[in-house]
Amino acid sequence: MQTFDLEAQGLRALNQALHNLKGANTNETAWEVVNPKGSHAIAVGVDAPIDITVRGSTGYYCAGMNKQATIRVKGSAGPGVAENMMSGTVIIDGDASQYAGATGRGGLLVIKGNASSRCGISMKGIDIVVHGNIGHMSCFMAQSGNILVLGDAGDALGDSLYEAHLFVRGTVKSLGTDCIEKEMRPEHLAIIADLLKRGEAEHLAKPSDFKRYGSARKLYTFNIDNASSY
């Protein structure tokens, strides 16, 4: 286990040490970051199959652009956690602030508390599992990937949605433009079962508890009746 004291050693040294592992044949596969104290940009741009545990709460952009790594925050995360994640897993034990998992292209983001506004905004392939609630404007313009919410969703869920799958167990305060409730088919139940398992939530819910929301496809698709408007 490599222990890194962020307060003593500094952010650039941490991220450089983690970036140095890219493509390296290393046995330094388990990292622990202590004294994060809400610092920004912790473990951003990691590209190695390693495990990183952050012991405390983080500031902006923790685990941004992650590839391959498993990053666990033993606290809460500030705005933009796992932004543009490519692959790997990010697990937040506490809450996440706004735009968690924004523009994520792959991998899995698990938030064990609540996520605030704009969770999964413009997601493009990431899977997100939130054990609590998500805030307003979540999944705005979400393109692909899956989000599973065990709690409630705030206002304007899935506004201007493309082809992401949204699954919510609790209430949805309001749906955004062009987002509708859709029929749950067996393949969706299979996606949910897989997300519950990978999202450490199998003991908390079952697939049949959820409703599915998706795009009505009236906003982003070409409509021949509107041809004269273009």
Q: In the complex, which residues of this chain contact other proteins (CB under 8 A)?
A: 37-39, 57, 59-60, 76, 78-79, 95, 97-98, 116-117, 135-137
> Exposed/middle/buried for 142, CB within 10 Å: 0-12, 13-18, 19+?
buried
Closer CB to other proteins, 47 or 93, in the complex: 93
| Least CB distance to other proteins at residue 33 (A) | 15
Q: Which residue number, 39 or 146, has a Cβ lying nearer to other proteins?
A: 39
Backbone angles phi, psi at 80, to 5 degrees: 75, 30
Our CB check for other proteins shows the closer of 29 and 160 to be 160
Q: For other proteins, which is the closer residue by CB, 38 or 106?
A: 38
Considering the complex, what minimum distance in angstroms separates the CB of residue 117 from other proteins?
A: 6
- Nearest approach in angstroms of CB 97 to other proteins is 6
Q: With beta carbons less than 8 A apart as the criterion, state whether 21 and 51 touch.
A: no
Provide, for the chain, the percentages of residues in helix, strand and coil under a 3-state DSSP scheme, each rounded to the nearest 5. 15, 25, 55
Closest approach, Cβ 154 to other proteins, in A, equals: 8
Q: Are strands 165-168 and 211-215 parallel, antiparallel or unpaired?
A: antiparallel
| Dihedral sign, Cα of residue 62, residue 67, residue 73, residue 76 | positive
Q: Is 187 exposed, middle or buried (0-12, 13-18, 19+ CB in 10 A)?
A: exposed
3-class secondary-structure state, position 80: coil
C-beta of 57: minimal distance to other proteins in Å? 5
Per the DSSP assignment, residues forming a β-bridge with 168 are: 149, 211
